[in-house]
Amino acid sequence: MFISKSFIPILKNNPAEAKIKSHQLMLRVGMIKQSSAGIYSWLPLGFKVMKKIEKIVREEQNRIGAQELLMPTIQSSDIWKESGRYDEYGEEMLRIKDRQNREMLYGPTNEELITEIFRSSVKSYKSLPQLLYHIQWKFRDELRPRFGIMRCREFYMKDAYSFDISDEEALFSYNKFFLSYLKTFKRLELTAIPMAADTGPIGGNLSHEFIILADTGESKIFTDKRIFDLNSDGSKIEKKSLEELRKKYEKFYAVTDEKFNKNDFEKKVPEDYRLTTKGIEVGHIFYFGDKYSKPLNAGVDLPGGKKDFVKMGSYGVGVSRLVGAIIEAKYNEKDEVMKWPLSVAPYEVAIIPLINKNEASSLEKSKNIYNFLKNKNIDVILDDTDENFSSKMKKFNLIGVPYQILLGKKSHGDLIEFVEIGKDPQSLSLEQIVKILTEQKENI
């Protein structure tokens, strides 16, 4: 992409209506535009980041054997009446009438619809387990939409659903998602802690919220610091290994305020390890047995011939919220610089030539480098405008493109000035630059 041809409407100043960094930055660099309260258009830069996040989320779902499908955004009220949630869900549900006066709704979540799809075709335990997911827009008529796309009304979510024959098998499914979430957030360079959570309107028995630390987060959290040292390395997708992984995390106290108990906290966590802070919920997993399969009559034949309701779980990731959450986690307040993880950066490298009347060759050279990098599958943007050098650099520091190639006075012959945001510049050949980038990408 050449900046002169791009649609990146950058604002001169931070918009006054935005209170937190991610909201300010996303408006400032033209990633999103509000269309009405809590409803946003995703402009090219923001859309690109969201799509890269979506790709990682998808790969990690597929890795545990979940299958992707796509359910509609608009649902019929019938199935919600069957489950009993049509009234229960309250004003957060956007209700719509079609021209035949039928009650429809914009889906806030999909337990009912997926159960209806499942029950219409799966009849035997032999088809279990089934792990199904989609990545689709949701609508929740939040009372106070705020912080941009962090708490909005229309948002993009990955929601998965598991169907199993028994509690034991269902727990195995739950644990697969537990693992896949740890891996997903790691690839996004986030430390997301699984915290024991309330099951809320979804209902059920077992639940974890995946929370990243951020002062601007809306969840109050109480945790044992030692949980930050854990990881999922070496876990295999088999029952014992995954149960051990979850237990390893559950050994440490980590809860949101709904589950907080002062006595437990003080008893279970030595004083030096206690951490009380705030965080952003980026994912949430639930096990709820037959809460939906029973009212919706989704049963299968068991080996002995008897019939039973399937045991279900549901597993959400806030794909659009993650765009903001990554900014909250990666923005450097002191230097006013954003640095996107390479895995989801809107562009991986920016080429910044010094362009003035006497230096037409610099633009020529930068175009050659641009083509070379493109051919190596590197996501690159070239600033071909005649803005001055330092304001170009400021612009890319603000957008957060993690690497920059500076074709100024310091680039001589075959050696190019190459900068990783926050680090000292290096003088490298183009081949060395490609090597650095490709090696990093292989590790994502």
The residue ranges that bind ligand ATP (CB under 6 A) are: 109, 140, 142, 151-152, 155, 157, 281-284, 316, 318, 321
Considering the complex, what minimum distance in angstroms separates the CB of residue 109 from ligand ATP?
6
> 134 touches which of Mg ion, ligand ATP, none (CB within 5 to 8 A by kind)?
none
Is 176 near Mg ion (CB under 5 A)? Answer: no
Residue pair 346/340 in contact by the 8 Å Cβ criterion: yes
> 106 touches which of ligand ATP, Mg ion, none (CB within 5 to 8 A by kind)?
none
At 88 the three-state DSSP class reads helix
| Nearer to ligand ATP (CB atom), residue 155 or residue 331 | 155
- Partners of 96 in beta bridges: 104
Closest residue to ligand ATP in the complex (CB): 318
Which residue, 157, 235, 234, 174, is CA-closest to 208?
174
| Nearer to ligand ATP (CB atom), residue 183 or residue 274 | 183
Which one of 11-19, 279-287, 337-345, 356-364 is the stretch in contact with Mg ion (CB under 5 A)? Answer: 279-287
- Count of residues of this chain found to bind Mg ion when the rule CB under 5 A is applied: 1
Q: In the sheet that 380-382 helps form, which strands lie side by side, from edge to edge? A: 380-382, 349-353, 403-407, 416-420, 426-428
> 282 touches which of ligand ATP, Mg ion, none (CB within 5 to 8 A by kind)?
ligand ATP
Q: 265: exposed, middle or buried (C-beta count within 10 Å: 0-12, 13-18, 19+)?
A: middle
Which residue, 160, 167, 159, 116, is CA-closest to 140?
159
> 402 touches which of ligand ATP, Mg ion, none (CB within 5 to 8 A by kind)?
none
Which one of 20-28, 122-130, 142-150, 278-286 is the stretch in contact with Mg ion (CB under 5 A)? Answer: 278-286
> 156 touches which of ligand ATP, Mg ion, none (CB within 5 to 8 A by kind)?
none
Structure tokens at 113: 């619809």
> 318 touches which of ligand ATP, Mg ion, none (CB within 5 to 8 A by kind)?
ligand ATP
Using the CB atoms, write b or e for 90-107: b if 16+ within 10 Å: eeebbeeeeeeeeebbbb
> 157 touches which of ligand ATP, Mg ion, none (CB within 5 to 8 A by kind)?
ligand ATP
Considering the complex, what minimum distance in angstroms separates the CB of residue 132 from Mg ion?
20
| Nearer to Mg ion (CB atom), residue 207 or residue 411 | 207
| Nearer to ligand ATP (CB atom), residue 326 or residue 406 | 326
Considering the complex, what minimum distance in angstroms separates the CB of residue 181 from ligand ATP?
10
| Nearer to Mg ion (CB atom), residue 197 or residue 338 | 197
Q: How far is it, in rounded angstroms, from Cα 16 to Cα 158?
A: 32
Cα separations in angstroms, 426 against 126, 335, 405, 406, 407:
59, 20, 10, 10, 12
Considering the complex, what minimum distance in angstroms separates the CB of residue 368 from Mg ion?
50
Is 284 near Mg ion (CB under 5 A)? Answer: yes
- Partners of 36 in beta bridges: 39
Considering the complex, what minimum distance in angstroms separates the CB of residue 407 from ligand ATP?
40
Q: How far is it, in rounded angstroms, from Cα 425 to Cα 405?
A: 9
Using the CB atoms, write b or e for 335-356: b if 16+ within 10 Å: eebbbbbbbbbbbbbbbbbbbe
Q: Which chain residues interact with Mg ion by CB under 5 A?
A: 284
